[in-house]
Structure 1
Amino acid sequence: MSRLVSALLLFFGFGACTPPARPPAAPLAVAGVEHREARLRAHGDIDLYVQSWRPAGSARGAVLLAHGLKDHSARYAELAQHLAAQGLAVHAFDLRGHGRSAGERARAALGEYVADLTVVATQVRAAEPGLPLFVFGHSMGGAIATTYALEHPGELQGLVLSAAALRLGPDAGPGLVKLTRKLGRNHPAGASSSSSRSGSRATPPWSPTSPAPTRWSTPARSPPAPPPR
């Protein structure tokens, strides 16, 4: 994690969303953004649905999106299109058992999900050679992304976490206080943005609302302090 130069922690929690009961509709086309869909074979001969949004010209960075439990990658289509329009190559995939990927439906298996992310990240690095790679993870996707970053130090340029499903140790408190103070200056209480509202609209109205029980959490610990000189 020593080369992770940026990490943004927006909120903590496990507010995972529910996946659609049928494949989500294809995202709308955006001028200057190329959208592609494909299949990728993962561990256990599971076919993963993957998609990408690329700018018309050369990309200046790559972003890999990891969705939460009972969610799907198409929910982030508007975010992906916006980032691609800013010159970033955006890649996303449906975890096994979610969305249009094969596998047992909504089965919480962190190790398998991290393996899925590893397979997709390897493909992204091959497709975007030389570009800095950032991983965005929401809810359970945040736990998956954090675990991947810890297991593959130095491979990511940055990690972005939204409502990450992490269990924090007491030593994380001071850092969070400093971060929230900085965020508060730019995002006062009650503020909202069009991007957050559009993200809510991206959840299909016919999605089921049954809860998905989970039995694990990922501890997130700060690195040990250096010895005194």
Structure 2
Amino acid sequence: MRAKITKFASGFLSRAARVLVPCLMLSVLWACAPTIHPAGPPIAQTELSATTYRAGDGAELALQTWGNLDDPDAVILALHGMGDYANAFMELGEQIGSETLAIYAFDQRGFGRSPSRPFWAGAYSMVNDASDVLAILKARYPTRPVFLMGNSMGGAVAIITAATRPHLMDGVILVAPAVWNRDMMPWYQTAPLSIISHSLPWLPLTGRGLEIWPSDNIEMLRRLSRDPHMMSAVRVDLVAGVADLMDLARIRASDIRVPTLLLSGVQDQVIPPDAVVALDRDLSALDLPFYRHCLYEAGYHMLLRDLNGPTVIEDIRRWVMGRATAENYSCAGS
């Protein structure tokens, strides 16, 4: 992993060097700063239609749903990862939606089909969006448990939301959460990110040359590479925003008080295992009700879409439905 990060850092810096010096000189004349497109002032009623979540500032974010939306046994609001969009939960929805569960997912600001793509919205706006949708779902299903699920970057948003608005959910599910905070990153990664996000915030970054496999499901990865709603490149200031989000998530994780399911893969090449181990240690110390960490030997970062995805999804269903015991989970864990 260290060799891969070093290769990334050197390649990233050499690519940026051609434009970094001119921009730093120009920054003396005018300030280059990360561009953030946060939510605007509240001017509209929050609302969920069949295909759209209308936020309080009037922004319309694409919505996807699966399962029994009329009378489910439980409800899940799912938050996708960086560069992804609501369709990240297609496999989950098709496998466990059926007549038992209702699953909702929307394109978070700056991603997918959202009007502010490709700009970072900020943690505050993302947590508020998740909270508003949870409030709507709580009102729509007053007698049913409502769970918040976050995948990767969405896991960081879910941690902060669970820590600050626990009354809006009956539990939180963290799927390979992005909790690699700056304190755990090497200096040669954090320093260039800080400098370039303020001098070249528009610089696009791709995953080319990283030699990192997010999943062992090659056919799925090929399909995503052709999906126009996926982001093959992101602005460097968006990456810096995600780093800020991960920092905050690690701080607020110790404030979680709701039932929690943590899912991670031994083969994850995106979020270092040490970061998840540290999160598990913090959550285990909280004596949370119904806490479990599921660790999958065959799991990569895209746990729900991996070849082992159906097994992971079935464990989620068991946990949500409250029928899981230590003996009938498919994963190793605590």
Query: Do both share a fold (TM > 0.5)?
Result: yes
Matched residue, 1:110: 123
Matched residue, 2:232: 209
Q: Which range is displaced more, 109-118 or 197-206?
A: 197-206
Map Cα deviations across residues 161-206 of structure 1 (whole Å, 9 max, x no partner).
Answer: 1221225799xxxxxxxxxxxxxxxxxxxxx99xx77865662424
- Contact 1:138/1:163 (8 A) holds in 2: yes
Q: Kindly report which structure 2 residues correspond to 1:123-202, keeping only aligned pairs within 5 A, or say none.
A: 123-167=136-180, 200=221
Q: 2:106 aligns with which of 93, 98, 123?
A: 93
For 1:90, what is the secondary structure of its paired residue? strand
- Contact 1:70/1:106 (8 A) holds in 2: no
Q: Larger Rg: 1 or 2?
A: 2
For 1:63, what is the secondary structure of its paired residue? strand
Specify whether residues 57 and 119 from structure 1 end up closer, same or farther in structure 2 by C-alpha distance, changes over 3 A only.
closer
Specify whether residues 153 and 55 from structure 1 end up closer, same or farther in structure 2 by C-alpha distance, changes over 3 A only.
closer
Alpha-carbon distance in 1 for matches of 2:119, 2:235: 7
| Pairwise CA distance, 1:129 | 2.1
Alpha-carbon distance in 1 for matches of 2:223, 2:89: 7
Matched residue, 1:122: 135
Q: Which amino acid aligns with 1:164?
A: P
Alpha-carbon distance in 2 for matches of 1:208, 1:160: 24
- Contact 2:149/2:158 (8 A) holds in 1: yes
Matched residue, 2:208: none
- Contact 2:68/2:102 (8 A) holds in 1: yes
Matched residue, 2:43: none
Q: 1:71 aligns with which of 84, 89, 98?
A: 84
Aligned-pair Cα RMSD in Å: 3.2
For 2:97, what is the secondary structure of its paired residue? helix
Map Cα deviations across residues 123-158 of structure 1 (whole Å, 9 max, x no partner).
Answer: 222222211111110111011111111111233222
Q: What is the TM-score normalised by the length of structure 2?
A: 0.44
Q: What's the % identity of the aligned pairs?
A: 27
Q: 2:254 aligns with which of 209, 222, 225?
A: 222
For 2:71, what is the secondary structure of its paired residue? coil
Map Cα deviations across residues 64-105 of structure 1 (whole Å, 9 max, x no partner).
Answer: 100112210012112112121261111111112222222242
Q: Which amino acid aligns with 1:105?
A: P
Matched, 1:45 2:68: no
Alpha-carbon distance in 2 for matches of 1:209, 1:39: 24
Specify whether residues 210 and 100 from structure 1 end up closer, same or farther in structure 2 by C-alpha distance, changes over 3 A only.
closer
Matched, 1:61 2:60: no
Q: Which amino acid aligns with 2:108?
A: L
Q: What is the TM-score normalised by the length of structure 1?
A: 0.61
Q: Which runs of 5+ in 1 are unaligned?
A: 1-35, 171-191
Q: Which amino acid aligns with 1:209?
A: S
Name the one with the larger strand percent: 1
Alpha-carbon distance in 1 for matches of 2:138, 2:218: 31
Specify whether residues 122 and 99 from structure 1 end up closer, same or farther in structure 2 by C-alpha distance, changes over 3 A only.
same
